[in-house]
Structure 1
Amino acid sequence: MSSGRRVAAGLLAVGALGAGLLMWSTVAPGPERKREILKELPEQNTLRMEESRRRNALVMQVLKDAAETEDNITWGPK
């Protein structure tokens, strides 16, 4: 009886895994969509990349300033 349950549980697990893989392959983007997604990445667009670098530099400057002061800068200027 115990071995029958194990076989049934194993078949159920394999079936669930197969169903999950089937659903994953159904919703995964095709090759054309993957190429479109890659074109839209910020690394591919030099203007976006420069904006990202500038924004990161500003954030790092704010963090540096905050680390150097004893004041609570989250409340704004006094």
Structure 2
Amino acid sequence: MLDTWIPAAEAASVALAREEGSAELWREVVAPGEAGAAATRSMVAVRGRTARLGERSLGHVGPAAGSDADHRDRQATDTRRNQHAG
């Protein structure tokens, strides 16, 4: 999960330093988080339940990383939707 959190947090820090609004901030953190999640495809899981798969986990997005990236994407979508509605 840190594979998504660290790049997203770094992007959020940059967006906050530029004093971006909430919709812009979320837009900035989605892509780095998704890229971090995608990078887990090339890793063998060593933590969590997926670690039981060993080498068979290679080639698949880590479940926590994928879930976290999806959550961040939904948050960004909801924030944009709420700003346009109000």
| TM-score of the two chains, using structure 2 as the length reference | 0.29
Larger radius of gyration: 1
| TM-score of the two chains, using structure 1 as the length reference | 0.32
